[in-house]
Every structure is written in structure tokens, then in C-alpha cells.
Amino acid sequence: MVFRILLQACLFWLLSGSPAMAVQGGIPVRVGVADNPPIVTATPGVPPQGIAIDVIRAVANREGWRITYVPDSWDNLLARLDKGEIDLLVGIAYSDERAKRFQFSQQSLIGNWGMVFRHAQSHIESLPDLKGKRVALMRGSTHSQALIDLSKQFDAGFTPVYVDTYADVLRAIIERRADAGAVNRVFAALHVHPNDMVATGIVFNPIFVHYAAPKHADPALLHALDRDLAALKADPGSAYYESLRRWLEAAPETRYPSWLSWAVAAVAGLFVLALAIVGLLRYQVKRQTGELQRRADLLQTEIQQREAAQQHLNQLAYFDGLTQLPNREGFRTALERMLSALQGSEARLALLFIDLDRLKNINDGLGHGAGDLLLQQVAQRLQSVLRAHDHLSRFGGDEFVAIVSDIDVQADAELVATRLLNSLAMPIDIGATQIYSSASIGIALYPDDASSVETLLKHADTAMYQAKEQGGNRFLFYHAQQTARVVERLTLDTRLRQALERDEFLLHYQPIVELESGRIVGLEALLRWNDPDQGLVLPGAFISAAEDTGLIVQLGEWVLEAGCAQLHAWQKQGRAAELTLAVNVSTRQFEGGRLVKSVAQALARTGLAAECLELEITENVMLIMNDEVRSSLDKLRSMGVRLSLDDFGTGYSSLSYLKQLPFHALKIDQSFVRRIPDQAGDTQIVTTILALAKGLGLEAIAEGIETSQQYDFLRENGCEFGQGYLMSRPQAADQLVALLERQRASGSV
Ligand code: C2E
Ligand code: MG
Ligand code: MG
């Protein structure tokens, strides 16, 4: 054993030259070192060691440098290098970002990459699994930042637990302060014990470890280092390969303290036995040539693994995992390439921003698995109608972008957009369910609308937004005025919130009439906004914005309470003894079971009996039907509240739900009522809905009755109730009181 130590010390001493030589005289070089074994081991009070140190020492001997080591934390060292307080930093990973700050050696010391390890009990296998987890990271390491960036790109944001060294990263995992942690693979090879933790499939950020000098320093230092490191790498017997062998092979506990090697080296240096030992060493080196060959093969395998990892990262970076289409980055690269190919030519290009309508409903109602299957099939359909040289990418969520080249006139883009919409017209089978999907498409043209990637995309997005606002399942070209409308919509949210605070909302009431007798049996509360600038604003102008932002939940609660309070007040005055109040609720109010609570609260606060309240829910509630919504409906019913399905016939309904759910009434949408009895198709729909309601034991209420022909037709065909301008427009509370009084006096409307 002692002989082996002696032998290794002498080998080290002979191959790297006399350490004494390096300390006396020579060019002073301040070298920054931070603990990052086995590249650098910087323990306080002990001279630094490691692969990078062995190499710098060998170089110092060749060049006659006098090295002073400056140990510090990694962050501080980077700052010191910036200020020129150190001449060289060892073991620094190359990145483009850092290359702007520092000069890097041409020669690299070793290839490396980041790996994520996890505790045996946590379930993290791939990048998306990191979402919401605690991940230990070494402060200032390029791998740490790379992992954060990567996770953001893939919506896998985690909580970083910062520590100072890689050893602390492992400790944090073992002590369960973190669910996983990132270290470099060289460190991992030596220090990760398979009993303690498990390697996940996450490898990332392949890098090369270099030496760096301050940005404006004399490049001579790095040139000398490059020259010497290249020479060391060319010689299989050099200190470089010896160091790799020594550090990459030795398990940490078999390493002897550095002071011992120095001491023995010094002692050995005094011995005249040197020559004899050199002989022995020669033998030793020869024997190790075979070993070095094995090492070289190993390095080769590592390089191949690195290339595979790089390819995997490329796939992750430029493609969408679900549809295998290029992602946002892939799109950008393709568009930049296509635009530069068009430079100077007359050719045009169209950018089509495609956004699926109602994907959220499908995700909420049928689960994310169904949403994913739908997206995959949509991707295939869209792709199938594009030509080979067009480009389709997925931006995430329900957004796709197509780049269509070779456009001569606007009509060409129109044709493609029509084909894309048609491709979605047939229902899509998801397991046993058939889903109808549609999309909103915004089109921007190059060079007509814009010439940069960013602006083209922004304009196509704006046009898409307008297409969606106009009801979806359509395409629109970009016009400059659209930008103004988007800005307007963005400010609408703020204005609505202020309106709620400033009490600018009010309710109008429209009578619901029993058609046979003409008697008012109920009132529908309809929301109005008294905007100081625009006057009375109808719900069509703001409800969908309030739904998008979620403000509808508070707004809906306000409506419930104000409506219930008003009806209760009228009841107390003896004006509305037998009337019910219908209040419209948005499907968003069901989220978190909140609707039941708000209804109970409104009834309790105002004193209105539950039987007097009717909630109007649009058909779209079928799309979000899950256990929570179903149990809310059941609870409302058991409280005594009545439920009706609003705008029936315009959206998606399911017969089986209709039978099961506790509804009292169907409201026939005004779009069907408008053209009866002249238009045969609509007349047929209305009679069918009336038969359906009867079959299911539900009341029917016709909306939008404007003519006496419509009134008569509906009454004759068994529709019991109706509302519309013919009987009364929606009116403010005080006007409605007058109407109720007149009814009382005359016995009808
Ligand atoms: P809705 O629930 O179907 O309400 C009926 C709409 O038809 C009302 O429009 C009403 O003014 C209008 N209407 C009634 N009779 C006639 C008629 O004879 N001819 C025509 N052309 N229209 C008639 P309004 O007040 O503009 O409300 C539009 C929609 O906004 C409502 O449709 C409802 O879906 C929504 N809404 C209104 N108030 C609220 C609310 O408090 N909460 C929620 N979530 N939505 C509301
Ligand atoms: Mg309604
Ligand atoms: Mg309606």
C-alpha cells in the first residue's frame, strides 16, 4: 500500500514536473477554483485538486506560470472574472451567453451534461413529471438554469431548492428536502450511490467544460493553455489522460489526502531512487496503454451518448410531443427560412392562425385524455389538406399555425382556410363518443400585412380572435382596425371590474306569460350595464368577456342577490304574489360547486322562497357535465329551486342527460321562433321541440315572440309559456311595477 502511494506520488510528480518550480518566480496567474469534483475539489485549507487542476499544473510547468489559487463560491468567481480579479477560471461550462461575458479556451477539458436524480420513492421519470415538484439545484450552475428554462418551455415549472454544491444536491434528495435534483454526469458517476437514489430519464444541456479568462484580458494566457492542452490530449501517456484515469476511476474513499501526496512527493524527490523508479514507471505506463485504449473507447461511447442526448433535446426543443408537429420554436425556424427564401422575389405567403373552438369544454367534460386524442386527430386532418411544401405547427393548447407559401392572390389563402375548416366538419370519433369540432382562423399575409415573424404572427392572432368573437367556425383576414378592437377588449375587463365596484349594473325584467290566458306568471332578470360613457350596454357586449376572465362568477352572484331582493320586495308589497323569477347563470358559476352556495346565500339574505327562483342554464352545461355539476343540479332541485334549459336547440344537448337531469322547462331559442309559421324547417324544429318537451314531462317556454301569428301558432301547438316583445320588452323595475299593476286591474297583460 505504502509502495503504491509512493509510486503514484512519484508518477504525478514526474509527469507534472516539480511543484516547487511552479511556485518560485514565473508569470503570476490567479486561478479561481470552486468545489465541483472531480473537475475541481476545493476544500478549505487544502490545495485544490481535480482534473482541471492537474492540467493547469502541467501547463504552468511548461509555461513557467506561478499560480495562486483563489477559492470562492461559483457566483463570486464569475463576478471576479468579470472584474478581472482572477486571470483564469477553471471548470467553466461553455454557453453562448457566457461567451459574451468571457473569453473561453478553444480546447475543452471534458464533455459533460446534466442529469436529474430522484429519491427512490418519488415518481419522476420524464420532464413533465417535474411540474410542481421540489428540485435541488446548485446555485450559479449552467445546468440549473438550463433545467429551469427547459421546464418552462414544457410547462413543467417546478420549485427550485438552491444549494451551494452538487454534494448538497444529493444530500437534499436523501434528506427529502427535494423530490429530485440535478447534477452533472461526471459528478454523478463518482458520487451517486444506486442505493440512495435513482436516475430519471431526464438528461439535458450537453456542454463542454473549458477554462475562461476575463473579456478584455491578454489572450496570450489562453493561447498558451490551448496549445499545451492540445499537446497533452495528443499524447496518450500525458498528465491529461493520467488525470482522467485517476479521477474518473477512483472511488472517493480510496483517495488519499492531497497533503500526503505532496509530502511523499517531496520526500521522494529527495531520494536518489528516482531513476530506478522511472524505470518501473515506464513499465507501468506501458501496462496502462491498454487501459488508456479502453478509456478512449469509453470516451467515444460517451460522445455517442452525448450526440443521442443532443438529438433527443432537439426533438424536445423543436417538436410537440403530442402531435409530433413542429412546436413554436420549430415554426419560427421554418418561417424565418421561408421568409429569407422569399427576399427580393414577388412571391407572397400566408400565415393562418388556427384555434379550436371549445376545446376547454371537451377537456372539462370528457377529460384531458379525450382532449389529447382530439388534438391528434385534428392535427392529422389539418395536415392532410395542406400541400407538401406548406408548414403546420402546434403552438400548444388548441392553437395551430399553418404557413402557406406560393400565394398569388388573397383568394388562394381563402381556399386553404376553407379546406382547413371543411376538414374539421365531419365528427371525430373519440372512443364511443363523436365530437364535432370547429376552428377559428385568422390570416395575415406577407408582405402585405407585415414582414417580420413577430408582427405577422400577432396580426394573424388578432384576426383569429375576431373570428372567434364572431361565433367561431370561420376565417377572417387581418385588418388594421382589428388591433384597435383587441385593445378595446383588453380594457373591457378592467372597466367591468370597476363597473361592479361602482354599482353600475342593473337588472331589467321581461315578463313570461302563460299563452292560453295571457297572464304574467314570471319574470326573467336580464343584466344591463349603465356605462357612464356609452349609456345602457346590453349583455351581448360584455357577458362573453366576463366569462373569459371569470368575472362572471361575481357578476352572477350580484345578479342573483339583486333579483331575489327585488322580487321579495314586490312580494311584500303584494305585487308579485305568484310570480317566479328566472335568473340566467353561466356554466362558469358551477366551478368548485360555488353556484349552490351563492344561491343559498342569496335566498337566505333576501328572504325569497326557493320555489320562486328559477335558474336558466344554457345547453352548454351538457358539455361540462361531470359529477360536480350533476350534484350541484341535484342539490338545487332538492332546495326547491326550478331549473330550465335556455336557448334550447342552438348548442349541444344529450337526450340521455335530458332524461336524467332535474330540469323543469325548456326554453325554445328565439332563432327558431323568429321564422314560424312561414319557414317550414324552423316550424318543424319548434313542433319537434314541443313534442320532445311533452314526452319528457317538461314545460316549454318560447322566447322572442314578436308577432301574433307566432303567438297563435305556439299556443295552438301546445306551447304553454312564452316571452317576447309582443307581450313586453325587458323593462326597468319601476316600469315593470306599472305593468303588473295594469295586469292586476284588467286581469291580463
Ligand atoms: P336569453 O337568456 O336567451 O335572454 C333573452 C334575450 O332575448 C334577451 O336579450 C331579451 O332582451 C331578448 N328578447 C326577448 N324578447 C325578444 C323578442 O321578442 N325579440 C328579440 N329579438 N329579442 C328578444 P338580452 O337581454 O340582450 O340578453 C341576451 C343574453 O345575455 C341572454 O339571453 C342571456 O343568455 C345573457 N344574459 C342576460 N343577463 C344575464 C345574466 O345575468 N347572467 C348571464 N350569465 N347571462 C345573462
Ligand atoms: Mg335566459
Ligand atoms: Mg334564451
Enumerate residues 6+ apart whose C-beta is below 8 A from 183: 114, 115, 117, 138, 143, 166, 169, 170, 191, 192
Distances (CA, A) of 657 to 652, 666, 730: 11, 13, 31
Each residue of 45-70: pLDDT tens digit?
Answer: 788 988 899 999 999 988 999 999 99
| Cα dihedral 617, 623, 629, 634 in deg (nearest 10) | 60
Pairing mode of beta strands 731-732, 580-585 = unpaired
Distances (CA, A) of 481 to 475, 485, 486, 746: 16, 7, 9, 53
Q: How many whole angstroms from 525 Cα to the centroid of ligand 2?
A: 8
**What number of helices (H) and strands (E) belong to the chain?**
27, 26
Choosing from 507, 560, 566, 584 the residue with most ligand 1 atoms within 8 A of its CB, the one to mutate for a pocket test is: 584
| DSSP letters for 606-638 | H---GGGEEEEEEGGGGGG--HHHHHHHHHHHH
Distances (CA, A) of 389 to 372, 383, 449: 26, 11, 22
CB 749 within 8 A of CB 739: yes
- At 291 the pLDDT is 67
620 backbone dihedrals φ, ψ, rounded to 5°: -60, -15
Is the distance from the beta carbon of residue 612 to the nearest atom of ligand 1 less than 6 Å?
A: no
Residue minimizing CA distance to atom 17 of ligand 1: 704
Alpha-carbon gap, residue 364 to 367, rounded angstroms: 6
Q: How many whole angstroms from 265 Cα to the centroid of ligand 3?
A: 93
214 backbone dihedrals φ, ψ, rounded to 5°: -60, 155
Is the distance from the beta carbon of residue 142 to the nearest atom of ligand 1 less than 6 Å?
A: no
What is the helix (H) or strand (E) element at residue 745, kind and residue range? Answer: helix 733-746
- At 256 the pLDDT is 43
Is the distance from the beta carbon of residue 730 to the nearest atom of ligand 1 less than 6 Å?
A: yes
Is the distance from the beta carbon of residue 614 to the nearest atom of ligand 1 less than 6 Å?
A: no
- At 433 the pLDDT is 76
Residue minimizing CA distance to atom 7 of ligand 1: 704
Q: What is the largest CA-CA distance in the chain?
A: 131
Is the distance from the beta carbon of residue 228 to the nearest atom of ligand 1 less than 6 Å?
A: no
Q: State which residues of the chain have pLDDT below 50.
A: 1-24, 250-257, 264, 268, 272, 748-749
Q: How many whole angstroms from 674 Cα to the centroid of ligand 3?
A: 13
Is the distance from the beta carbon of residue 580 to the nearest atom of ligand 1 less than 6 Å?
A: no
**Cα dihedral across residues 143, 146, 152, 155: positive or negative:** negative
Closest ligand to Cα 507: 1
Alpha-carbon gap, residue 648 to 641, rounded angstroms: 20
- At 284 the pLDDT is 65
435 backbone dihedrals φ, ψ, rounded to 5°: -115, 135
Is the distance from the beta carbon of residue 456 to the nearest atom of ligand 1 less than 6 Å?
A: no
Distance of CA 188 to the CA centre of its chain: 30
CB 376 within 8 A of CB 310: no
Q: How many whole angstroms from 645 Cα to the centroid of ligand 2?
A: 9
Enumerate residues 6+ apart whose C-beta is below 8 A from 727: 511, 513, 518, 705, 749
Closest ligand to Cα 510: 1
Distances (CA, A) of 117 to 140, 160, 177, 181, 183: 19, 14, 13, 5, 8
CB 65 within 8 A of CB 77: no
Alpha-carbon gap, residue 590 to 613, rounded angstroms: 17
The three cell numbers of residue 628 are 360536480
What is the helix (H) or strand (E) element at residue 440, kind and residue range? Answer: strand 439-446
352 backbone dihedrals φ, ψ, rounded to 5°: -115, 115
Each residue of 552-591: pLDDT tens digit?
Answer: 999 999 999 999 999 999 999 988 888 999 999 999 999 8
Nearest atom within ligand 1 for CA of residue 647:
3
Q: Name 92's bridge partners.
A: 210
| DSSP letters for 483-538 | HHHHHHHHHHHHHHHHHHHTT-EEEEEEEEEETTT--EEEEEEEEEEEETTTEEE-
> CB atoms < 10 A from the CB of 655, how many?
9
Is the distance from the beta carbon of residue 511 to the nearest atom of ligand 1 less than 6 Å?
A: no
Q: Which residues line ion ligand 3, judged by CB < 5 Å? A: 646-647, 703
Residue minimizing CA distance to atom 21 of ligand 1: 704
Q: Name 732's bridge partners.
A: 508
